[in-house]
Structures are given as structure tokens and as C-alpha cells.
Amino acid sequence: MYKIVNKREIGHKVHSYEIYAPEIAKNARAGQFVIFRINDKGERVPLTIAQTKPKEGLVKIIFQEIGKSTFHLASLNEGDSIRDFVGPLGHPTEIKKYGTVVAVAGGVGAAEVLPVIKELKKVGNKIITIIGARCKDLIILEDELEQESDILLFVTNDGTSGIKGFVTDVLKNIVNKEQIDIVYAIGPVLMMKAVSEITKEKHIKTIVSLNPIMLDGTGMCGACRVTVRGVMKFACVDGPEFDAHGVHWEELHSRLELFKNFEKVSLDNFKNYKECRCHKK
């Protein structure tokens, strides 16, 4: 069992947990992830490691309430424990001096990009960070991102914070005006695809962190398969980071949409079940 040591709400239905998992804290690197399971009947859910504190044995995860398991996780309190917390999984981000790096994140992708830019800045890269959200209330980790970025730009769909529009609008302006050596993107699939299309025209190396359907985290189930440059890869063991210009985006999006439809039905059933129980009480 893995104890929840600290719990904070850092945004609208966005939570930061520190979990006591000393072996993971000691070995994890930027870009890697864990898979958690709340109880022996729970589903397996992957989450990127947002931060580690090796001396304290703590691993920070940041998640948004978007499904049955994350709703359940959000209902737990400090001192409670979860059944499984496995990691570190996947390959860490390749950290080296590129020059000027643009990091693009959408939504809670801000939590996933933070450890990456932190390590890239340590080795001397210039970091330009673009964070997108639907509105101001959904922006997280402002202070932490500012500390690790040479330039930090916020973009909201409704204009309630920073620039009004989309992260791709801002990225276009930057790559047209400045020499960019590499782009790192994480967020919704359609956002990452759009980023890839922009950088491909400019011949800028681009890395994306993919989040396909994932179950066992060892490559045995095949659920997280993605096609990269015509070759089947497994995100859990070959990734989660891939060359954006080689990803078969249409296939990835199609498979995720099928899962979302199934998940929506399951969540609706779960809500109805809870409402029935509450009504009976």
C-alpha cells in the first residue's frame, strides 16, 4: 500500500498528491510515469511523475478529475493509501544542450512538461514555455513554470489570462521570428498533432509525449500501441516520447475516441449508481 502524504487542490478539479514510494522517488527521471490502482478491483491509470523528493521518498503526481478512477482518487485524504503505485515506467527524456527549446503544454500537460524543462534548463538551454488552457481557472503551476522558463507565455481560449487564442497561434509566431532548435509538446492529441504540422514545415525536431490507452505498462497487453514511421511501438516501453513527425496521428486519435466513448458510458453508470445509493439513504 502507498500512503498519500500530502494533498492539495491546485486548480479547478486538479489535484497534487505526494505519495510515499521511496524506490520510485530514488530512480525516477523526467519524462517517466507511474501506473496507479486504487484497490484490487480498480482500473490501472498512468500518470506522469511531476516531481520527486528522493530524501523524503515522495513522488508527486498531478491529475484532473475526468473519470471514475480519478474521481475516486480525488475523494481520498492525507493518510489514506492506494493499492498499487508502479514505476518508474517508460524511457526518460533525453536531456542535453540543444540551444533554444520551446515547450508547449495544454491543460494538465503543464504538470508533465515542468520536470522536463527543469532538467533542460539545468544543462544550459534557453526555455520558452507556452501553456494553453480553456480559461484562467484551469491554469496551474504558474510560479513553478516561471522559475524554470526564460520566457513564459499563457494562452487561453477565452482570453481571461495571457493571450487569447490557441498555443499553435503563439508557436507559429515564435518559429517565424526566432531560431528554434527543438520543440517539446504534451497535451491533447489534436493539439500535439497541430504542433507537429507547424514544426514539420520548419524542419524543427519535435518530441511529443503520448498518452494512448494503457493497461499493464510492460508492453504485454498491446493496448498502448502506436504507429511511428510505419512501425508499431508500445508507448509504455518504447515511449512515452516519440518523434512527432513520425506519429500516425489519425490512428492514435481514432483509438482514443473509441475508448472515451466506452469510458463515458461507464462513468455515467457509476454516477447513476451513486445517485441511487444517495437517494436510498
Task: Give the pLDDT of residue 223.
Answer: 79
Q: Which amino acid is at 2?
A: Y
pLDDT score recorded for residue 259 = 62
pLDDT at 276: 34
How buried is 247 (Cβ within 10 angstroms: 0-12 exposed, 13-18 middle, 19+ buried)?
A: buried
Q: Are the C-beta atoms of residues 191 and 170 closer than 8 Å to each other?
A: no
State whether residue 210 is helix, strand or coil: coil
Identify whether the C-beta of residue 169 lies closer than 8 Å to the C-beta of residue 153.
no
Q: What order do you get walking across the sheet with 100-106 strand by strand?
A: 163-164, 151-156, 126-133, 100-106, 182-186, 205-209, 241-243
The domain 2-89 having CATH identifier 3.10.290.20: the answer here is no
Residue 130: its pLDDT value, please? 95
Q: Which set of grid coordinates corresponds to residue 204?
A: 524543427
- The order of strands in the sheet holding 58-64 is 81-82, 2-11, 14-20, 58-64, 45-53, 33-37, 84-89
Q: Is 100-255 a domain of CATH 3.40.50.80?
A: yes
Q: What is the pLDDT of residue 89?
A: 92
Mean pLDDT by 10 residues, the chain (281 residues): 92 91 95 91 87 95 87 91 91 94 91 94 96 87 92 89 88 93 92 94 94 77 86 89 92 76 43 37 37
Q: Where are the domains of the chain?
A: 2-89, 100-255
pLDDT of residue 11: 84
Given this model, what pLDDT does residue 16 score? 92
Which pLDDT belongs to residue 280? 39
**pLDDT per position as a tens digit, 47-66:** 899 999 999 999 999 998 88
* Contact yes or no for 241/207 (Cβ under 8 A): yes
Among 200, 32, 182, which residue's Cα sits nearest to residue 97?
182
Cβ–Cβ < 8 Å for 154, 163: yes
Assigned C-alpha cell, 98: 540543444
